[in-house]
Amino acid sequence: MASHGIKDRVAIIGMGCTRFGEHWDKGVDELLLEATGAAFQSAGVTKEDVDAYWLGTAQSGMSGLTLSRPLQLKDKAVTRVENYCATGSEALRQAAYAVASGACDIAMAVGVEKVKDSGYQGLNAFPIPNDGTQRTLTAAAMFSMVVPAYGGAYGVSEADMRTVLARIASKNHSNGARNPRAQFRKEMSVEQLCAMPAVAGQLSVFDCAGVADGAAAAIVVRAEDAHLYTDNPIVIKALALVSGDGSGLMDPEYDYTTFPEVVAAARQAYAQAGIESPRDELAMAEVHDCFTPTELVLIEDLGLADRGTAWKRIMEGAFDLDGELPVNPDGGLKSFGHPVGATGLRMVFEVWLQLRGEAPEERRISTFGSRSLALTHNLGGYPGEMVSFVSILGTA
């Protein structure tokens, strides 16, 4: 058996994305209306034209009513989905497969999160376990274990690891500073970042993604119908989702230098899309940099650099906006922000802008015009127990 995928059968014809940040003046309804309204406008369709909706949210609603009420949808199926921080990607995956199956002609995937005025610090499990199984480490603490593990495995000193992580953060802050939708729009030098005090292991606050409010949306149709709506559709080449079994936390051999679920999802996605050398074929990658060491490991797990070499390639600028393979050109979670339900679709929105040539010149990837495929990677959970999503998207 294999994950055959739906290559070239479904296309994105419209997208919308709000600014991510502290929206004290907006609630869930306003964020949803803004993102979906922009998507409807870009596709040239109305809410009545869409046959079914998939809403991704982790903490901002418990049913499809979260979307159908503000949009005033009549007699429409609205499915609410949640899959940790990969929730937005899950909404897109299900909407795309509904179109590919023939069940829908037009479907919409929407992701939203409104948490800044709730006191939540990120992803929270409901109900909170009271049987002694609740986690005693924060997400920052869990991912901080990647740092000494990677340095020890590949002979990178603590000082050099600190500089590498600061280089990742500086790159993403530089990209976010050029993006009007990003939560944090201030450039930070490597020197400034290295001087920050540690808050979890060797991680500083600036190694951690920001908590944000925001929403994003995508409209999908059969690929053969896409040109009825737009001259520049983005075609889905692969959608791969892998849910781990949590064994990494109990496996004494697990060393925190790789995320097996990511490796498996990437392998499936590349097989579906027919990609043999991702570092040579991809124009860009949006990866789930919830923490700076996560991006470091993901670059290797996704095959964008050989094992033990990503830290060198990062220092060389290989993944900068003007590098050979831009990673997180919109600023990533680190600078763009991370409203859990919307993040996966925000990544796709950046692909939408970049591959269609709609990103402004100061934000345009170096590979524009020479390569036509892009990757998004979205994960949820922790090292040793996570879900991982990888999409490959391309121009028609």
Q: Distance between CA atoms of 322 and 38, rounded to whole angstroms?
A: 29
- In sequence order, the 6+-apart residues with CB closer than 8 A to the CB of 41 are 14, 16
- In sequence order, the 6+-apart residues with CB closer than 8 A to the CB of 14 are 39, 40, 41, 42, 43, 44, 45, 218, 219, 229, 230
Q: What are 131's two structure tokens?
A: 């049987």
Per annotation, catalytic residue among 23, 288, 338, 377: 338
Tell me if residue 85 is catalytic.
yes
Q: What phi, psi does 260 have (nearest 5°)? A: -55, -35
Of 200, 191, 139, the closest CA to residue 169 belongs to 191
User: Hey, what long-range contacts does 356-364 have (CB within 8 A, 24 or more apart)?
Assistant: 356/232, 356/234, 356/395, 357/232, 359/329, 360/178, 362/178, 363/175, 363/178, 363/179, 363/321, 363/329, 363/330, 364/321
Q: How many helices (H) and strands (E) are present in the chain, helices listed first? A: 13, 11
CB 289, CB 295: distance < 8 Å: yes
- In sequence order, the 6+-apart residues with CB closer than 8 A to the CB of 51 are 76, 77, 104, 105, 106, 107
Q: Which residues make beta-bridge pairs with 16?
A: 217
Per annotation, catalytic residue among 85, 104, 208, 290: 85
Number of residues that make up the chain: 396
Number of Cβ atoms within 10 Å of the Cβ of 330: 29
Supply the angle between the helices 292-301 and 158-177 in degrees, to the nearest 10.
90
Tell me if residue 338 is catalytic.
yes
Query: What spatial distance separates the first Cα and last Cα of the chain, rounded to whole Å?
Result: 29
| Residue that has been written with the tokens 């925190």 in this structure | 256
Q: Distance between CA atoms of 187 and 73, rounded to whole angstroms?
A: 42
| Residue that has been written with the tokens 């990888």 in this structure | 390
CA distances in angstroms from 328 to 43, 158, 161, 348, listed in the order given: 25, 25, 20, 11
Residues labelled catalytic? 85, 338
